[in-house]
Amino acid sequence: MNMENRHGKPKGHIGKYIVMLLLVLCVSAAGGIGGAYWYNHTSGGTVVTTTSGTSSAETVSTSKDASSIASKMSQSVVAITTEEMTTNSFWYGSQVSSGAGSGVIISSDGYILTNYHVISGAQKVKVTLSNKKTYSATIVGYKKAKDIAVIKINATGLKAATIADSSKIKQGQTTYAVGNPEGTFANSITSGIVSATSRTISISLDDDSSNSNDQQGGNSWFSSQTTQSTTVKLNVIQTDAAVSPGNSGGGLFNAAGELIGIVNAKSSDSDSEGLGFAIPSNTALSAAKDIIANKTNE
């Protein structure tokens, strides 16, 4: 399998094996510099309350018609847009780059779960709900090693996702991916199955850091930006539901419309189809609760 940045293949059948795929973090970008970014900013300390799903993997319908649950899923998924100001050379000065991703509402008072790589490095972030209302958001915190972040908007009465126990999912179970593909088609729904319940993948997360002054005279004209990346390994759900740039941070749902995962990556090999990945809901929710309780930034 040809890869752009990383080569490899699954090492065996379903199980906790490392899948060294070339993965595209599903972030849509525009304005020159790729990616969606955010800066560290904390908000209130309310502990998130979530609604747990009641359907087990054995009792969930296998119907692939999402018409009865489309509204339930889409109301809990948001579109995220970001802006980052960069000062990268004497010749160009400051520039603004933009990006787009998705998020899942996990409390009625505005806490939203997304990927770290969606909000990493940005100075501005906006959230658009399914009803087209747009809010400015702040970051609560993140766990980079899990590719999870939590943001907050000043809103109440939101439709939080019903969260299923991801340890109960089964191979072949119906899935729906809901998100903002290409940063343009908000609340899109695609369908598929759980291709594998447990894969270990390696992804590269970029960290942007800029030096606003040169060491001699403090002249910002001579400032530069450097980008470093960190490779992290994640245990994820594999699905063949179509995911695209902009889907990152969106929801992977079961046939009852309950959240089973947070979409975060896909294979970028042009010869590969139906290789999408999502962080299990149990992992994502555990990280989110710690972030909200402790303002975690690590």
Active-site residue identified among 28, 107, 248, 267: 248
CA distances from 92 to 95, 221, 222, 223 (A): 7, 9, 10, 11
Q: Which residue is catalytic, options 117, 188, 208, 268?
A: 117
Between vectors from CA 286 to CA 280 and to CA 288, what angle results, nearest 5°?
100
- Return the ∠ at Cα 30 (arms to 296 and 24), rounded to 5°: 60
Q: Provide the phi-psi class of 141: left if phi over 0, else alpha when psi is between -120 and 50, else beta.
A: left
Q: Which tokens belong to 120?
A: 């990493």
282 Cβ neighbours under 8 A, 6+ residues apart: 165, 166, 167
**Which of 242, 153, 144 has its CA nearest to residue 193?**
242
* Residue 109: active-site member: no
Indicate which residue of 147, 166, 188, 195 is catalytic: 147
Is 165 one of the annotated active-site residues of the chain?
A: no
7 is catalytic: no
100-129: burial string, b at 16+ Cβ within 10 Å, e else: bbbbbbbbbbbbbbbbbbbbbbbebbbbbb
What distance lies between CA 55 and its chain's CA centroid?
24
Rounded Cα distance between 42 and 194, Å, is: 35
Provide the annotated active-site residues: 117, 147, 248
